[in-house]
Structure 1
């Protein structure tokens, strides 16, 4: 559908502002040095030394997804995937804090089958993307916003406006990006998103560890966090987006802790294969592989917990709501609703809390929810087919009818 001239002008202005923001952020980090210090990914340190058979057996092989390219940036090389019909809906997917883009591979393939053009990328410090050194380049809103722009500009196709899908930390990043550049986003779909996580669920141990920057040796913190993220052969701990939850005394109506114990926060999909024909490519296997072979992974995880837009982002989300309200009042083109997918049994993103808080900051009329029964925080991995159906409905303009509010709990299926 053609856009109005004012919509095109808005896109041009937004794109110009985005380019300027990246220039400013880059220059802030580059002035006084040749470039930000970077930590190479396994793409440079491990893969060149493996045989073809060794590459295929990796939990995250370099050909895990179609349309791979490696993009050189001031913050290191980043891995990007892009495939699907060139004229299809442009859908950018952003993964969580610990599992790289391979975790959203099934969802991406499903969307391509429905006619979409998809693009995924490994966040800096994850998977096959290098990592800037967190002590000089914090993993903050500025860095992640810059990375999204670099990804979009790396495509030979025109990619704006986009449908933006973010999972967990990726959801927090997606909402944050949209709050700054609403004219670049036509649809925002958040899956178990961070951003509004209530800080009372953060344990004193996590507060001590992640708030101790500068007075506890960083090497000690990295060792502790690395051990806590290590999944081993048994069960993978949930590390999206907070690795330790408080032992909350708040109970839900079923008598279970609403805050959840960390012992409860496990990936049900720990042993789920992300690549059907690769037995080592499980969620737990990929996390452990990064711990072993990506020197930037644990530092990136720690810096993201400290600086990424995971908590207390009510102000940025209110901007999104205000922008949608303005468009509705003025009858202008652009995003009209935010769609949120939640797991009913997610011990990290508490569905009832997120729904209440999102309604308050976005405006109840501008946010729709889908809560999937028997789903935990791994909802984007385990329920990719249902999420793809929802995305398809949103792109076809039927999103409002496809979403199911939390209080209608008995209707969990499409």
Structure 2
């Protein structure tokens, strides 16, 4: 249970956080150019506005991502787009925020969230811009950087009826990369940091020339072609194996090519690609949710591409070094970084990440849990292992 604090002290911290978040949003908008501000940024709507109004009740019930699948649903508006948020659990429980991966929206972490609620936590999940039922400001003028996502997180927190002055932060894959970066930027708000198969320290040796060509932001390939190729790679169809996290290189679109482990490419096989993200909904598999977004969310592929280009996926040693400094000088609440990794993950290679995380953070500042026989889908298939890491983090604080 979280301690009860005087209303003034509690809410003053909230005001400070929201004020800092608002300032951060303004700095972000200024950094990407003020020419778009007077007329307002262009927003790409989500299926909430473009699809749902045209469906019958029966068709809605068949959606891979139903419109109201989790408790505490709300839609939060901002100048950068609308965000789908879910928040539930005991009002006085430990606060936990979860950030999903690059292609599957927040329902991918629903099982972890419910298990935490069962342990008396108050949880918050949200669809990143351009995923699920969140719209997005166009990535062509507003790149999908940490600052964009931090502004989104801030709007979610500010919209809550409860104070979220500090919280445990959990991130999966891209969400793990974002969580580490965010924790380095707002340390006083973060109590614990749990990273599940996170990006951030992926070795540059895993980025080959084909990846560089596909995701170049310098006009080597036209944007429409890049988006078409990425959509084709992510598309699974009814008979193929899903690739719910980052896709193969463009050179592999026309055939099966053996590729080394590591880097933001698709795994050869995702054993849980047809595992339900929502137990009560038969169609809610990772494969079908990704296909649904490709078909019905015009902002999904542009957001995916922009995140690959601009999110903190590679070369984040400096930001993680700030985490170490904050831990060792006791700035904020994080005392260790908890890693949950899949033993057979072909994208986030466990032995490499452990070596690099220890090198950057220091051995005493890292706790590692490697789940045997599991790949990059560890957050979807092994929620109990993630919750175990969270409980270990709680216990370490006394």
The question of a shared fold, defined as TM-score above 0.5 by the shorter chain, is answered with yes
SS in 1 for 2:82: strand
Matches within 5 A, 1:202-351: 202-241=207-246, 243-244=248-249, 257-259=260-262, 264-327=267-330, 334-351=333-350
**Residue pair 2:263, 2:348 contacting (<8 A) in 1 also:** no
**Residue pair 1:65, 1:81 contacting (<8 A) in 2 also:** yes
**Residue pair 1:112, 1:118 contacting (<8 A) in 2 also:** yes
SS in 2 for 1:396: helix
Provide closer, same or farther for how the CA distance between residues 132 and 15 of structure 1 changes in structure 2, counting only shifts above 3 A: closer
After superposition, what is the alpha-carbon deviation per residue over 1:312-345, rounded to whole angstroms, capped at 9, x for unaligned?
A: 1110000010110111xxxx76211110100000
**Residue pair 1:125, 1:297 contacting (<8 A) in 2 also:** yes
1:301 Cα deviation after fit: 0.4
Counterpart of 1:182 in structure 2 is: 187
Provide closer, same or farther for how the CA distance between residues 73 and 236 of structure 1 changes in structure 2, counting only shifts above 3 A: farther
After superposition, what is the alpha-carbon deviation per residue over 1:175-212, rounded to whole angstroms, capped at 9, x for unaligned?
A: 01011111110000000000111121123211101015
Separation in 2, partners of 1:257, 1:243:
11
Matches within 5 A, 1:24-39: 24-26=27-29, 31=35, 32-39=37-44
1:3 Cα deviation after fit: 10
**Residue pair 2:130, 2:136 contacting (<8 A) in 1 also:** yes
**Residue pair 2:18, 2:154 contacting (<8 A) in 1 also:** no
Matches within 5 A, 1:7-22: 16-22=19-25
**Residue pair 1:194, 1:241 contacting (<8 A) in 2 also:** no
1:153 Cα deviation after fit: 1.0
Matches within 5 A, 1:91-240: 91-240=96-245
1:27 Cα deviation after fit: 5.0
Structure 2: stretches of 5+ with no match in the other structure: 253-258
SS in 1 for 2:171: strand
Higher mean C-alpha displacement, 88-97 vs 63-72: 63-72
Separation in 2, partners of 1:396, 1:61:
36
Separation in 2, partners of 1:274, 1:75:
27
**Residue pair 1:242, 1:305 contacting (<8 A) in 2 also:** no
1:266 Cα deviation after fit: 2.9
Higher mean C-alpha displacement, 82-91 vs 147-156: 147-156
Structure 1: stretches of 5+ with no match in the other structure: 248-255, 400-414
Separation in 1, partners of 2:273, 2:119:
28
Separation in 1, partners of 2:267, 2:123:
33
Provide closer, same or farther for how the CA distance between residues 154 and 314 of structure 1 changes in structure 2, counting only shifts above 3 A: same
**Residue pair 1:246, 1:262 contacting (<8 A) in 2 also:** no
1:128 Cα deviation after fit: 0.3
1:234 Cα deviation after fit: 3.1
1:18 Cα deviation after fit: 3.2
1:2 Cα deviation after fit: 5.4
1:20 Cα deviation after fit: 1.5
Counterpart of 1:409 in structure 2 is: none
Higher mean C-alpha displacement, 71-80 vs 332-341: 332-341
Separation in 1, partners of 2:74, 2:15:
26
After superposition, what is the alpha-carbon deviation per residue over 1:122-149, rounded to whole angstroms, capped at 9, x for unaligned?
A: 0000000001111110001211111111
After superposition, what is the alpha-carbon deviation per residue over 1:363-397, rounded to whole angstroms, capped at 9, x for unaligned?
A: 11111100000110000000012222331232233
Higher mean C-alpha displacement, 287-296 vs 9-18: 9-18
Separation in 1, partners of 2:89, 2:251:
42
Higher mean C-alpha displacement, 20-29 vs 175-184: 20-29
Separation in 2, partners of 1:370, 1:167:
14
Separation in 2, partners of 1:224, 1:130:
22
Separation in 2, partners of 1:294, 1:104:
20
**Residue pair 1:202, 1:245 contacting (<8 A) in 2 also:** no
